[in-house]
Chains A and B, each alone.
Chain A
């Protein structure tokens, strides 16, 4: 079985995003970029399935300007077999991303597609579900456990009230949550080896996808900042403040 993993290049999770002075967008110039943490978990899960013998090949796909090849190479260094970059000038809207990925799936015919549940830049949490709908296949979102049982994939999902397990026919889409696994670090020999692994570049035109504009970004603003309050010196003082000043207990 082949596994397709999608990865996104995003702001490093340790970096605080700054809004541009003209409020047109977030300023990413000279910002440290990285593999989206949830995508990293997706790559790790696919590699583990390959190591266990359940999968034979792990293909990584990323969409965006050429710089996203860096994140594909990172995934190859972690153990993926080959990469596909779909070259676009800017980051397309989620539905367009899903349409591009649907074309890749048609060609690659993976048994399982593993994606991050959300990218930490746009915080949309939607592309995996959209792709599943376009392909008319089942989904297991926010996964904390993935098991192949007979011809199905059992996905344990992190839901608001606890955990829910669903059984899905394959092919299926799994989106990862934090506790699914702890991604490994790439070793230096594997980083070197990754440079020679195949990486194909395609365009939306190659895939025959018409990109549509569904939303317009009107402006981006910094949120109203909270101001630091006061330091109290004891529990008594804290309780007194909460009772008499804040009146919340």
Chain B
């Protein structure tokens, strides 16, 4: 199952490395203070920030995971895009970005401080910092182990080299460098995976050929013949589709709670829009990102669906490595497809695309981590600003750079922990991913209900998180063999699949958090005056529309309509 690379493949990778580091090198002279380094000087054009917005989400785990899920669940995996991302991105752009950007907050935790109070910020900042390091360590581990198993590269060398390259360009050019490189990486990922998508579809006989090849496989699983090539058609019952979730879980769990929690509150993503040059530009960022986002399934999910057909056709000679229990390792689907179809040359491009996806995700984590550390932890609790703007700017720039180095070193450490105690890391990541749903409840209520108080928000955030933990501790997906998957208190309920458990964990966290925040807000005294909340809460902010003179496609509302129409058309075509 080893893939042999030739000199030309390595040459392409080398050129890519030179360019990403070169961009950092060129930008280093602009990094005069913390504002330039951590916020990119709020000077990014909308299209640059928009592509970076989508690229940072397109990390290695996303690419590997979505192709693997395509093979496991078929076209239903596109729910993670069309229903599980687009509505949230539109909502973020139109309704939340005016308050995020207008508040002048430099991070999501800082927004919580402005809207609520110090303790809410502190809680969120600390949880976020830990989650970011864990996530980047886990994806670094996943990449290094893939490179070791498939390309025969040494685990330690690929881990350190890829981490040091990301360190190099984020240390030199900060958020600007991360964003510029994310745009470059976005194009590499698209171009690098394009030949794979086209060749695999041609090989299987086009969409019609794929459908006919998948019909017997679906029937043998006890599903309807076209289950793997449709999205909503068999979502009436959890048992009639491979995802194991019915339409309500998909619509509310994935489409609302998980997706709004991720896209609207995850600072790693939102930070790209914060870097935009104006409020109108910031509002356009998620929408510009949404346009390519809708078509990414054709690059990474459809090849995974094709892999399912190839896997069941011995004449194609397509295999996947097996794990200890003899089950195929789905995360390897993408690289085994690259091996199957791409000759030397474009193969190097495909591998470079995987490296680029890893780096865009990791740089996103690092640049979000150093900002939260510098502004929300260091500046708030260790050394507050002195009032000397220039001196402070230089001081926090140094702190930001040191935080970048430490962030990378901690990620490397967590990658090694993941390699020794994979289960523990999976468990921690599952737990920390539970902070998003309560966070969305708290930020949403804060933006649209002026009565929401700091004490209520803090309690809602904390107890929503604890409710998610309890739900995870009391339920398991069917066939779970380790406590990592849940049921570590006792088992009260068994879900048919892990996905259903995840959806319900998020729904419960969101529900508990909303109910608590609302009821406690009514019981506690409002400590912030209406004047202090101006620009942070919908009803207290004067509506100013400054984009009337722009053509429709340059206005956030116009773009939002375009994005919605395309998403609806795609949903109907693949219903």
Chains A and B are bound partners: no
Binding site for B on A (CB under 8 A): none
Binding site for A on B (CB under 8 A): none
